[in-house]
Amino acid sequence: MKTLIYSRPYQMAIEERPYPLLGDGCEQVVIRIGAAGICGSDMHAFHGQDPRRQPGLVLGHELAGEIVESQSPRFLPGDRVTANPLITCGKCEYCRQGRDNLCSDRHMVGMDWPGAFAEFMAIPARSVVPLPAGISIQHAALTEPAATVVHAMRLTQRTLTQPLAETRTLVIGGGAIGLLTVLVLRAWGCRHITLAETNALRAEAAERYTGCVSINPMETSISESSHQLVVDAVGAAATRQMAIQAVKPGGVIMHIGLQAWASEIDMRKITLGEITLLGTYTYTMDDFCLTLSMLEEGALGELGWVESRPLSEGEQAFSDLESQQVSAAKILLIP
């Protein structure tokens, strides 16, 4: 079968790999991939900045398709599905608490498990979620990144001292996670949202598809202590500083992006201002299923900001994302 592999930093390659075999020890299925999205973490691997993703790996963990083989009575060949790419143990304290995203013995598709930039992929059946009849394969492939945002915003809601609808919010970064953050916030009633994005193509697309106000923070300064909620969907040193500068005393910073692994932050303002700094990791299965329902209902809009390309053009897609020459916040690869 054809796959798109990470071959070395800044290089992807189409390569023939064996058709996946169903494993022993747990019920598995083989999915014919219908669409798979390029994630920011795939770009980190492409840059050679993720030691967990080594050259030779088939990347890709945002997926939807149809079952072609199944060891599980829950699924039959032809069933349309998506999959939670977190493969969890189901036994540890976090799994027992329903916080399976923090599983102490988890695996991740496209990290230490062959990924979805391929014609076929095997995965444990317990990670697979059937698709409602009213959603397309390509829209269903957005469940994973959107679930990351849904999980983050559910954590945020528990911490805010006022309803989202009344919260003045700054979202930093207009990539897929930033754009989805605006759309989820809109779906949940948040009216006052500003997007900070330096790429003019992405800023224009964000305004068109979300109705938010966008600013280029390189050209327009953000007032200090001006927002109750700041979402850093980039995670660079500069955006962390921007988030802390922009958040009001008593406010919340939700940190989703992980572009840089470490940087200095202004702990004095966080301490004296009683600012809550939240980290988030992926989603629970409950978040994942809620997100799929939101996509089915059209709660996140028409999704015209998503671009589809053949898997055979995956190398160019990574290069285009790297050079920021595309307005699309998300590129789906179609085998």
- Strand ranges inside 71-212, DSSP E: 80-83, 86-87, 107-108, 120-124, 128-130, 168-172, 192-196
Give yes or no: residues 165 and 105 share one domain. no
Give yes or no: residues 163 and 270 share one domain. yes
Tokens of 222: 């953000």
Give yes or no: residues 136 and 155 share one domain. no
Does residue 318 lie within any of the structural domains?
yes
- Angle among Cα 279, 204, 252 to the nearest 5 degrees reads 20
Give yes or no: residues 267 and 323 share one domain. no
pLDDT score, position 316: 95
Going by C-alpha positions, the residue among 183, 186, 184 that lies closest to residue 153 is 184
**Number of domains the chain contains:** 2
Does residue 292 lie within any of the structural domains?
no
Give yes or no: residues 153 and 117 share one domain. no
Catalogue the long-range contacts made by 210-215 (C-beta closer than 8 Å, 24 or more residues apart). Answer: 210/179, 210/182, 210/183, 210/186, 210/301, 211/186, 212/171, 212/182, 212/186, 214/174
pLDDT score, position 111: 92
Give yes or no: residues 134 and 10 share one domain. yes
Give yes or no: residues 102 and 230 share one domain. no
DSSP 112-123: TB--SSBSEEEE
Does residue 43 lie within any of the structural domains?
yes
Task: Tell me whether residue 288 is exposed, middle or buried, using C-beta atoms within 10 angstroms of its C-beta: 0 to 12, 13 to 18, 19 or more.
Answer: buried
Q: Tens digit of pLDDT for each residue in 26-84?
A: 899 999 999 999 998 899 888 888 888 889 999 999 999 999 999 999 999 999 999 99
**What residues of the chain score a pLDDT lower than 50?**
none
**CATH number, position 269:** 3.40.50.720
Q: Which residues pair with 83 in a beta bridge?
A: 128
- Domain of residue 55 covers 2-142+303-334
Please give the single-letter amino acid code of residue 194. Answer: T
Does residue 95 lie within any of the structural domains?
yes
Give yes or no: residues 83 and 198 share one domain. no
**CATH number, position 121:** 3.90.180.10
Please give the single-letter amino acid code of residue 245. Answer: Q
- Angle among Cα 324, 328, 334 to the nearest 5 degrees reads 110
Does residue 294 lie within any of the structural domains?
no
Give yes or no: residues 203 and 308 share one domain. no
Does residue 291 lie within any of the structural domains?
no
- Find the helix or strand (DSSP H, E) in which 185 lies: helix 176-187
Does residue 297 lie within any of the structural domains?
no
Give yes or no: residues 134 and 151 share one domain. no
Give yes or no: residues 71 and 138 share one domain. yes
pLDDT score, position 262: 82
Going by C-alpha positions, the residue among 220, 226, 217, 262 that lies closest to residue 245 is 226
Give yes or no: residues 152 and 120 share one domain. no
Does residue 324 lie within any of the structural domains?
yes
